[in-house]
């Protein structure tokens, strides 16, 4: 329930492992990016997010990309980062929150950087000198991104 409305139905384990709404993703502690399904992932408002598609995904229909904060890598935006992650977006550190043994870095920005969460060790946060307002690049490997249809088929 979100604001008294049913937003998702199903077994709790299944709903939380493959959320289809931002509300459910927040409860599950996952990042969720909305968009339109395309051949190898999701077309977002500002680009593309590569991922592994579930069987229920239909090209051209609404879909969401879901991935854990622990799957997100953060790099300072002062140099060129080359690596295997196919998904990279520019953002700005919005907040740093203690989250158990890690620091949850929340970002703001355009496209899928808006509201993104990344879990980093305290040592990484200190080494990168991250603080609110720091420009960063955020990356996530396509293999860590699950793409699900918004509507159940």
User: Does 92 lie in the same domain as 42?
Assistant: no
User: Does 60 lie in the same domain as 75?
Assistant: no
Please indicate whether residue 104 or residue 82 has the higher confidence score (pLDDT).
104
Alpha helices in the chain (DSSP H): 12-17, 22-28, 122-127
pLDDT tens-digit series, residues 49-69: 999 999 989 999 999 999 999
User: Does 93 lie in the same domain as 103?
Assistant: yes
For 2-18, b/e burial (b = at least 16 CB within 10 A) is eeeeeebeeeeeebbeb
Q: pTM of the full predicted structure?
A: 0.87
User: Does 79 lie in the same domain as 28?
Assistant: no
- Residue pair 83/75 in contact by the 8 Å Cβ criterion: no
- Residue pair 20/148 in contact by the 8 Å Cβ criterion: yes
Q: Whole domain around residue 81: which residue ranges?
A: 69-140
pLDDT at residue 67 in the model: 97
Angle formed at CA 66 by CA 25 and CA 134, multiple of 5 degrees: 85
Give the three-state DSSP class for 66.
strand
- What CATH number has the domain bearing residue 91? 2.40.50.100
Separation CA 108–CA 92 (nearest Å): 5
CB neighbours (10 Å) of residue 128?
16
Q: Report the pLDDT averaged over residues 72-86.
A: 80
| Domain annotation covers residue 77 | yes
Separation CA 112–CA 119 (nearest Å): 16
User: Does 77 lie in the same domain as 16?
Assistant: no
| Domain annotation covers residue 62 | yes
Separation CA 119–CA 150 (nearest Å): 26
User: Does 121 lie in the same domain as 79?
Assistant: yes
Hey, what are 10's tokens?
Answer: 């199903």
pLDDT at residue 136 in the model: 96
- Residue pair 60/118 in contact by the 8 Å Cβ criterion: no
User: Does 74 lie in the same domain as 61?
Assistant: no
Separation CA 120–CA 72 (nearest Å): 9
| Domain annotation covers residue 7 | no
Q: Whole-number mean pLDDT of the chain?
A: 90
User: Does 75 lie in the same domain as 63?
Assistant: no
Domain tally, the chain? 2
pLDDT at residue 33 in the model: 95
């Amino acid at each position: 329930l979100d604001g008294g409305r049913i937003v998702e139905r199903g077994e709790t384990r299944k709903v939380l492992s493959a959320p289809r709404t931002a509300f459910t993703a927040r409860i599950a502690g996952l990042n969720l990016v909305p968009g339109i399904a395309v051949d190898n992932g999701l077309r977002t408002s500002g680009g593309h997010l590569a991922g592994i598609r579930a069987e229920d995904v239909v090209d051209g229909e609404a879909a969401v990309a879901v991935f854990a904060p622990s799957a997100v890598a953060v790099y300072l935006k002062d140099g060129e980062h080359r690596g295997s992650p196919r998904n990279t977006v520019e953002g700005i550190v919005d907040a740093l929150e203690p989250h158990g043994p890690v620091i949850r870095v929340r970002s703001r920005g355009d496209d899928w950087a808006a509201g993104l969460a990344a879990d980093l060790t305290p040592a990484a946060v200190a080494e990168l000198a991250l603080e609110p307002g720091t420009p960063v690049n955020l990356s996530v490997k396509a293999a860590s991104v699950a793409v699900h249809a918004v509507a159940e088929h």
